[in-house]
Each structure stands twice: as structure tokens, then as C-alpha cells.
Chains A and B, each alone.
Chain A
């Protein structure tokens, strides 16, 4: 294995995109995604990456260009954040419907207003139902690895769907971490050249994006939903292949010290690293029976794996980093309650919302959430959700 190199996570992602030998990149710079596309534009300008870098006037155009290049058979990449993702919204729905395997890094940032450049998951949650595969990296190495694996998953002929690799803005994007890189030879062996199933080609014309009259629209949506659900098995297959080759194994839900755990925290993204510290302290110094689940795959939601992994757990404390205004919980909390409702002996689910707009979620916050969740479980408190770390 190669030695570790200290590099900013954004640059490591760009290097992964270079190793994937993409054909086309269309992106508009937005904080905190900027360093990724800046570096890619340098790589293309310097001749280190043989790709079309297409500068555009907006994110709506960026995603539209990506649709075109991907439809023409080019391996296509983009990256954005927050308001940029919101501006892409219209096209985001069309990409999976056209079954275009675009890979996008989403440097998660809070949506305005108030204006915020800082991290939470409100941007991704606003596009939850667009039909993209969505996964989370917890650190730079995961971001590097998942970027490479995403091309292989997206372009698999059994999948043919776009993927967003989510990295927490600043917390990951702007942090220098040690990364273990892969060589071009290793990547080439792992990731074959993109072989489109159907593409825009004058020699063999097709019509993409046809009108869906009432007699076929419903069938189109059914086919799309099945494709997304069934992509999970390919995701697991690629995770295993990557692990067998390079020694770093990924799971759709990661667990940390859940053996004998009665109370388990569930996180998505980089706060999982802090949560692990809290679990260590509570287990080793306080003798508490706690553990951690990290949801890597958000869409398709790994419902069967979740049901399996929470068996025997008494209390599950779910931490959301977005609000579903006027709803019954955060997006993750609501999803998990829904997934477990029809199962027997399900754990008590405490739904917390924390860390909005870059607010720190500390080790003490996690310990407080464990204690609060246990108290709520003991009292079987009926609740929608509780905000942790907001000044009352």
C-alpha cells in the first residue's frame, strides 16, 4: 500500500476524479465546494487530466451540461453545495429519470436563510426525492474512496443512476488529512472505461426525455424506483470488491462498538467521528452500554440492514442535521421510525436535531443525548423531536 499523503480533502477528491479519468466536468464554483472544481480546472488546464472542463454561468446550466455530456457517453462529474444544489433542482429530477450515471460531490452546506456558508444537511434533504443515490463520507479517506467507487456503481449496467457523495462542508472539505492514494494502475484495474448502455449517437439515433402521457408516466416512475432500490445490492458488491482489492471495506450502515449496546446513537456524516470519541469515553470510563451506527447510504435507504442491526437495542437516538419544518421529526428520524414501525421488539426511537448551520456538536452533546434518550425511553415519552444545542 502507498504511504499516506497529507492533503486537503477537496484536493484528494479532485485527485480521485482525475484517477477516474473523467471525460467531462461542468461546474460552477460555490463555497465550500470551490477548491474541488478549482483544482480540477487546474488539472485540465495543465494537461494532467484529459477532459472537457466546461465553465458555465449557473448551477442550472452545470447540471444541464452534465446531462448532455453523460447522454453523449462521457464519464461526467460535477460538484456543488447548498444554493447551487437548489438552483440545479429542476434538472436533478431528470438525470435519474434518464438513467444518466453522473457523479457529484455535494459539500454539504446549510440553505439560506439566514445566509449561511456553514455545514448541515439541509441541502441534501431538500433534494431527497429526486431519485439520486446518496451516500455520506465521514473523513477524507472515505471521500476519496467513495468517489472512485461511485463511478463504478453508477455506471454498472444494473444501476445506471447518478450518485451524490456527501461531504460535510469545511469540516471535511477544507481540512488537511492523511490520505492513502491509489495508483493509476490500481484504479484502472478496479474501474473499467465507461460503457454506456444507450447514448446519443447519430449512427444509431434515440429519443431521450420523451413525454410521459398518463398511460406510461406511472410505469416510468415504478421502473425508476425499482432501479434505485435494486442498486443497493450492486453498491454492496462494489464495496466488497473495493475492500478485497485495497483493504478498506465499506458498509451501507457502519457500526462502532455496538456489541452489548442498549443505547445506540445514529449519525450521518462527519459528526460520527466525534460520536466515536463520546462512545469511547462512555464505554471505557463510565461503563455505559452504548454504541454507534453511522448511516453511509441514505438513498436507497438500507431498510433491511437497519432492521437487522437494531435488533436487541433498547434505545436508538437518531441525530438529524436538518429540519423538516412542521413535520414529525428530522428527515432521518422520521425515516427510521417509519422503517421500524411494522417490526416487533423495535427500539424506542429518540429523534434529535443538532448542528444546524455549522453549530458544533460536541462530545458532551453526544453524552447528553445518550442520557436524555435513556430518560425518554424509561418514561416512554411521546415526542416528535428535540433540538439539541439551541438556546432556549
Chain B
């Protein structure tokens, strides 16, 4: 989005406030909603991908070595990945302000 929509006037939005550039929700950074942050101990990761499949926000990405990294710009800290992880390699820690 060229301009932050919280600065746009009512005249600057398109007809019926439709979204005409699909996928633009990624521009909305939801990471700051988080109170707990997932961290991964890659030594215990078996590369099964259950965290990747379980994430409701698509905020887990496949790393080059076959393990997984978190997209902290969009992870809301729901903790589903940590609950689902087979080996317990993901843990949730308090966010430090």
C-alpha cells in the first residue's frame, strides 16, 4: 500500500473499499499483537512441517536446511505451532518490551 490507510481521507479509498491488489494483507504487520513469541531449538527439529501446516497466519517459512523459521512481522503468537510440535522443539517465551 502506497500510503498508510490510517492517513487516507474518505475520498482516497476505491469504490466500496474493495481490495484490488490481492495479497496485500501481508502489508499489515500483525506481529505487534504478540505477547508471547515462539522460538525453535533446531537441534530437536525433525523437519516434519506440522508447525508450518498448523500456522493459521502463514507466518512460518521453510528454511534452506529443511527446518523452519518464524516470520515475526506477522506471527501473532497464538502458540498453535508449539502445541502441535511433535518433539517439543518450539517453545513460547514472553515478549520483552
Contacts and interface: CB of A to CB of B under 8 A. Distances in A.
Interface residues of B, number: 15
A219 B11 CA distance: 8
A210 B13 contact: no
B8 A219 contact: yes
Given A215-B5, A216-B5, A208 B16 contact: yes
B22 A206 contact: yes
B10 A223 contact: yes
A207 B18 contact: yes
Q: Chain A interface: which size bin?
A: 20 to 34
A160 B15 contact: yes
A222 B8 CA distance: 13
A216 B19 contact: no
**Interface majority SS on B: helix, strand, loop or mixed?**
loop
B43 interface: no
Nearest to B16: A99
B19 A207 contact: yes
A97 B16 contact: yes
B19 A219 contact: no
A99 B15 contact: yes
Interface string A203-218: 0011110101001101
A147 to B, nearest CB: 24
Contacts of A197: 15
B10 A219 contact: yes
A196 to B, nearest CB: 10
18 contacts: A98-B16, A198-B14, A198-B18, A206-B20, A208-B16, A208-B18, A210-B17, A210-B19, A212-B17, A215-B5, A216-B5, A216-B13, A218-B10, A219-B9, A219-B10, A222-B10, A223-B11, A226-B10
Given A198-B20, A220-B10, 8 more contacts: A97-B16, A206-B18, A206-B20, A208-B18, A210-B18, A219-B8, A222-B10, A223-B11
Interface of B: 5-6, 8-11, 13-20, 22
Interface of A: 97-99, 160, 197-198, 205-208, 210, 212, 215-216, 218-220, 222-223, 226
Q: Top 10 nearest A-B pairs by Cβ distance?
A: A207-B19, A219-B10, A99-B16, A215-B6, A222-B10, A223-B10, A205-B22, A220-B17, A98-B16, A206-B18
